[in-house]
Amino acid sequence: MPLTVMQIEDLRARLLTERARLKGGGESVLASVRDTEREVGDEMDAAETSRIQGDATIRTEQERELLAEIERALGRIEAGTYGVSELTGEPIEYARLAAVPWARFTASEQEDLEHEMAARRRMGT
């Protein structure tokens, strides 16, 4: 069933809120890395600093990818294609979009894609 105007507006608001959170959060991650750089004292401190910086880099990359997904979802809202699978054109259930507003596929399609990726990893391709 297609999304209602109210559902789309609710989801747009949630996407905008998440985008604002992500855009505001990048500075705090970078600031925490800079703070740990100043506190290095001995080898153990240096190892911990390296771990923190690695974690921050991974988190920053994940947030960058999520931000790109959110921007794509907002673009789909503007284009009038939001709420339908990019794979099949099938409607994405509101419950799924309420949980993951940037979802690009139906729940079953996403599950199939994840199984396929896992199988490829097991086969080493």
Domains located in the chain, CATH noted: 5-123 (1.20.120.910)
Convert the pLDDT of each residue in 96-122 to its tens digit.
Answer: 999 999 999 999 999 999 999 999 999
Q: Report which of 94, 79, 87 is spatially closest to residue 6, judged by C-alpha positions.
A: 94
- Which run of H or E residues covers position 63? helix 43-79
Task: Give the phi and the psi of residue 104 in degrees, each rounded to 5.
Answer: -105, -15
What pTM does this model have? Answer: 0.72
Convert the pLDDT of each residue in 59-87 to its tens digit.
Answer: 889 999 999 999 999 999 999 999 999 99
Q: Report which of 61, 58, 55, 73 is spatially closest to residue 18, judged by C-alpha positions.
A: 73
